Structure 1
Amino acid sequence: MRKIMDTHIHLDKYKDEEISEILSEVDALVSVSMNLESCKRNYSLAKIHPTIRPAFGWHPEQELPSDEKLAQLFSWIQETKDESIAIGEVGLPYYLREKNKLAQSYAQYIEVLESFIKLAVRLDKPIALHAVYDDAHIVCDLLEKHTVKKAHFHWFKGDKKTVERLKTNKYHISVTPDLLYEGEIRELVQEYPLNLMMVETDGPWPFKGPFVEQQTRPRMIHHTIAEISRIKGIELDGVYKQIYLNSNEFYVVK
């Protein structure tokens, strides 16, 4: 059987009765967190299911926590460092900013992100990033400042200059099922190196095209990998093997 890893999913958002079936569709998955409550649920799920590789962080598309709550989160991540695979999901609030719905200043979000980047360096963990379009170059500045090597830009979207910067720094990206119907993502897959590419669902986020009105599940990844094979003109088995190798080496269990 061809092995797959969903490198970015919010497993804690699925119902308990759905999780076993979801896990049967993958060889491993990285379940990212939204906040401390989300971290704790992912932690508990990973204790039950060894194929879950949990990442702990604070999703940027929401109001920032108070200093006290942020300190609690950092303390908890430090205490459970041996149980996590990465710091994530963290980043910058592109979509909130676009809608003029930021509750705090953009500078505060950058400051919080830099704190998470420092934490990832201190704990020697990869970092899973929400950083698209105009935000991506700011995140690159911070990663370079702190000499971060293992950075994963999930569902990345950005201009050619930023794409080249990611390639130069050997940062990983991951591709979702929207590859089947989004020209922007197809162009990215065409030019990005396969050895720096992973796949994800970002479930339960829903998709359009052939996946409309379907619950987002890891099995959709097979369609994504087949499309990567077609776009890049690389034999299908080779794409499966390379992407699984990339994922396992990036999110390695120590």
Structure 2
Amino acid sequence: MFDAHLHFEAIVSREDGTIDWERAKRLVERWRAGGVRGVLAVSVDRPSSERTLELKERFPDFVFAALGEHPERPSSSEREFWALEELIRTERERISAIGEIGLPYYVGVERKSAVLERLRIFAALGRELDLPLVLHAVYDGAAEALSTLREAAIEKAHFHWLKASDAIVERILDSGYRVSVTPEICYQERARVLARKVRRRGEPILFETDGPWMYEGPFGGRPADPLWLWDVLRCTAEVVGEKEEDLLASADAAFLSLFGSS
């Protein structure tokens, strides 16, 4: 079992921006003991990308590192952005993806236009370096992000926490990109509809927690934990009417095909 989207550095960072290594070690040991083989550790800006690289160095067989700039966060300066771009180039051999990147939903048109330009730069970089992209793009943003990826001839991408129309979901899958389910599948019909659609096409579903995001339903009031993936798997199997072991084998193979070995 792999967690396809986890903000690991956010979970173990202190207020001063340093990593609590004792906590990180305890968590990795607990997750491994619970059957989690690895996590795609995403980043939200240059400082968090650097912490993700530190975690990759300390846990090389567990952490699949992704460096990027979250589209819903305040945009970094031009200097910070290009420093992040250079960091991705420099660390190409140690990272598995560019992410979390994408398009914002909760902002005005002017800022969205600026973030779209940065997404185009990230897409071109992913194409140049042969790195998959990890996307945050929901509703109308999913269609725009999809068009950007196709224009850049991106072959590998993961649309995490996807919320989009049936037509856009079909186009994403037709493009060979992956989607995932979160703990929402245990209590939310929208997530269940997505899972059924993906499996009817015979496509694999990735599993993610987006930890430390806090969900509702049976998970309410607690930061998401990779060990919840087993609940996500169980709920998904019930929703799509398949065996857990078959879904797990498909998800693990898809994760490794997309992000490679750690």
Partner of 1:208: 216
Q: 1:124-139, aligned counterparts within 5 Å?
A: 124-139=130-145
Q: Are 1:58 and 2:66 an aligned pair? A: no
Counterpart of 1:171, as a letter, is Y
> Secondary structure of 1:53's partner?
strand
Partner of 2:28: 23
Partner of 1:87: 98
Q: 1:234-249, aligned counterparts within 5 Å?
A: 234-249=242-257
Q: Contact between 1:22 and 1:217, CA under 8 Å: does it hold in 2?
A: no
Q: Are 1:173 and 2:179 an aligned pair? A: yes
With normalisation by structure 1, the TM-score equals 0.93
1:50-100 Cα distance to aligned partner (Å, 9 max, x none): 210110010000221222221111111111111110000000011x22xx5
Q: Are 1:38 and 2:38 an aligned pair? A: no
Q: In structure 2, what is the Cα distance between the partners aligned to 1:22 and 1:222?
A: 16
Number of residue equivalences: 246
Structure 1 unaligned regions, length at least 5: none
Cα offset, 1:196, TM superposition:
3.3
Partner of 1:73: 84
Partner of 2:259: 251
Q: Contact between 2:205 and 2:247, CA under 8 Å: does it hold in 1?
A: no
Q: Contact between 1:195 and 1:246, CA under 8 Å: does it hold in 2?
A: no
> Secondary structure of 2:39's partner?
strand
1:15-45 Cα distance to aligned partner (Å, 9 max, x none): 3343234323210101000101000000001
> Secondary structure of 1:128's partner?
strand
Partner of 1:147: 153
Partner of 1:49: 59
1:139-193 Cα distance to aligned partner (Å, 9 max, x none): 1111111111101000111111101111211210111111111111111111113
Query: RMSD of the TM alignment (CA)?
Result: 1.4
Structure 2 unaligned regions, length at least 5: 13-19
